[in-house]
Structure 1
Amino acid sequence: MNSRKAQVEAFDRLLTIMDELRAQCPWDKKQTLESLRHLTIEETYELGDAILENDLNEVKQELGDLLLHIVFYAKIGSETNDFDIADVANGICEKLINRHPHIYSDVVVKDEEEVKRNWENLKLKEGKKSVLQGVPKSLPALVKANRIQDKVAGVGFDWEKPEQVWEKLEEELEEFKVEVAKNDKEAMEAEFGDVLFSMINYARFLKIDPENALERTNKKFIKRFQYLEQKAASQNKQLVDMTLAEMDVFWEEAKRL
């Protein structure tokens, strides 16, 4: 691993290159906070993919892309004298020190759950009006539900045992089945949302990340379905012309790979 000196030098090199690109490159000159936003989101998802696939070389590359975006935003901020990279770094340093009194002060905690509770309480003391204020509105619904539940649990609004959450899930499933029987689309959607919310809550109690779990299943399905497509093509067949029983033969083969 590189020394701290080498790490600082590498970061300084990146800052210098950013200065040069902003001054000389036609594309980089035109970028704004808003124009970079969707690219940053895309890079974040690419990092997420690399992490799920445990491709550490790709993780390294994607972290570099994200670091470039952070430096780019800070460069733009410096041009309007609103903030620069030092302000960004010092800001997060101060936040970490303030929110870890068990490290930088004399507060004693017994476990990670107490650390999380203290974290949420400290944010309220800093001026936030709600523990849910920090949940981005644009988060995908599944991720948002998980973050909502995690945050309210941080201030003690939570079930005590996984069994209680499972009972709630079963209750929501029954309510969903009732609405399905009535074929009331609006009520069905509402109850289905409650089922999903309860499933995500149960996953949290089991220490399962629901987004990761679902994405792993997505990748597994894609891999198996593409195998099915390849086998059909090798026999000069179109899926649309095959029976479900014929396709299922290849599907079962894919499951054994």
Structure 2
Amino acid sequence: MSEVVLASPRLPGLLDRRGWRTLDRADVVVVRGEPAGWAPALDDAGVRWRAEDGVPAAPGEIVLDVSGRGRAPGEPLGAHLLDLVAVMDRLRSPGGCPWDAEQTHATLAPYAIEEAHEVVEAIEEGTPADLVEELGDLLLQVAFHARVAQEATGEGRFDVDDVADRVVAKLVARHPHVFADPAPAGTRPAATAADVQGGWEARKRVEKGRASAFDGIPVALPALARATKVARRASGAGLAAEVAEDDGLGGDLLGSVLEALRQDASADPEAALRAATRAMEARLRALEPR
């Protein structure tokens, strides 16, 4: 029976000392799987090798298995994301898929919304397997947009590493209670989730140069989602008491929708809720401390 050393096809050369010692003592290493990625690393290490290529290893020979089955020892969590990047590259490159090749950020935009809703549905009503599938579909949208941008020129050009770098920098900057030095003497560290949320919103407002707590709420959100976002921003800005004390501050947004429908059964409830939310937001903006 042949001895098998399992290794990552995604990160050629990644082997622990024991693995390399095993390969070093072989007369010839039989590479199972696609050998192209590993060839330079094996050559640099002076290891003689051949591709399995339908000719199985003889008893006693050492097999380097880079077929990608399972997670190889030492392979970090997240390494399989490289497979997604490689598949997107294949689909968008010459000889790939014609449909994938002609997509743009604009044509893909509806799918991001659809996939996000399907993730929520899987959380609320599905199984863990359903959630894995739907999160994969949402992740595909990220990889797809990044691959489209990789082909752009000028300011529109970026790639998946730029996306990852940006979100990592954002997470570190907005979690000083985790990543920064201990809080200076006389200051209170973030002790609760509410403390964290308040600090997050304050830092985000400064980063984005927002003059109001209500800036940056997407106009294209569904009416109920936007109303909820405005209400939460009001609470985060310390305006919850004002909302509670003043019935005029959209205290009954859904009631205003029902009233619109009572007056006109053909009224658009989404439009009615958007209008009520705009009115509430305008009054809240006027109450914000300057």
What range is the shorter-chain TM-score in? 0.5 to 0.7
Aligned partner of 2:240 among 154, 158, 169 = 158
Counterpart for residue 252 of structure 1: none
Q: Aligned partners of 1:52, 1:145: CA distance in 2, in Å? A: 21
Aligned partner of 1:72 among 140, 144, 163 = 144
* 1:99–1:122 CA contact under 8 A, matched in 2: yes
Matched, 1:115 2:196: yes
What SS does the corresponding residue of 1:83 show, helix, strand or coil? coil
Alignment-mate amino acid for residue 90 of structure 1: D
Give the TM-score of the pair, scaled to structure 2. Answer: 0.55
* 2:223–2:273 CA contact under 8 A, matched in 1: no
Counterpart for residue 45 of structure 2: none
Matched, 1:85 2:160: yes
* Segments ≥4 residues shifted beyond 3 Å: 1-4
* 1:99–1:119 CA contact under 8 A, matched in 2: yes
CA RMSD in angstroms comes to 3.6
Counterpart for residue 129 of structure 1: 211
Taking every aligned residue pair, what percent have the same amino acid on both sides?
Answer: 33
Unaligned runs of 5+ in 1: 198-257
Counterpart for residue 27 of structure 1: 99
**Length, aligned pairs only:** 187
Alignment-mate amino acid for residue 115 of structure 2: E
Q: How far off is 1:160 after superposition?
A: 8.9
* 1:22–1:28 CA contact under 8 A, matched in 2: yes
Which structure's residues are more often strand, by fraction?
2
Which structure's residues are more often helix, by fraction?
1
Q: How far off is 1:32 after superposition?
A: 0.2
Counterpart for residue 207 of structure 1: none
Q: How far off is 1:46 after superposition?
A: 1.2
Q: Aligned partners of 1:13, 1:184: CA distance in 2, in Å? A: 57
Matched, 1:44 2:108: no
Give the TM-score of the pair, scaled to structure 1. Answer: 0.62
Q: Deviations over 1:185-222 (max 9, x none)?
A: 5xx98xx859x97xxxxxxxxxxxxxxxxxxxxxxxxx
Counterpart for residue 17 of structure 1: 87
Change (3 A) 1:158 1:20: same
Counterpart for residue 174 of structure 2: 99
Q: How far off is 1:70 after superposition?
A: 0.3
Alignment-mate amino acid for residue 53 of structure 1: E
Counterpart for residue 36 of structure 2: none
* 1:121–1:155 CA contact under 8 A, matched in 2: no
Q: Aligned partners of 1:49, 1:87: CA distance in 2, in Å? A: 30
Change (3 A) 1:83 1:130: farther
Change (3 A) 1:6 1:121: closer
- What pairs with 1:85-234 in structure 2 (closer than 5 Å)? 85-105=160-180, 106-107=182-183, 108-126=189-207, 127-159=209-241, 164=244, 172=252, 193=273
Q: Aligned partners of 1:172, 1:65: CA distance in 2, in Å? A: 37
Q: Aligned partners of 1:131, 1:139: CA distance in 2, in Å? A: 17
What SS does the corresponding residue of 2:238 show, helix, strand or coil? coil
Change (3 A) 1:119 1:57: same
Q: How far off is 1:12 after superposition?
A: 0.6
Change (3 A) 1:168 1:132: closer
Instruction: Kindly name which structure, 1 or 2, has the bigger radius of gyration based on alpha carbons.
Output: 2
Q: How far off is 1:4 after superposition?
A: 7.7
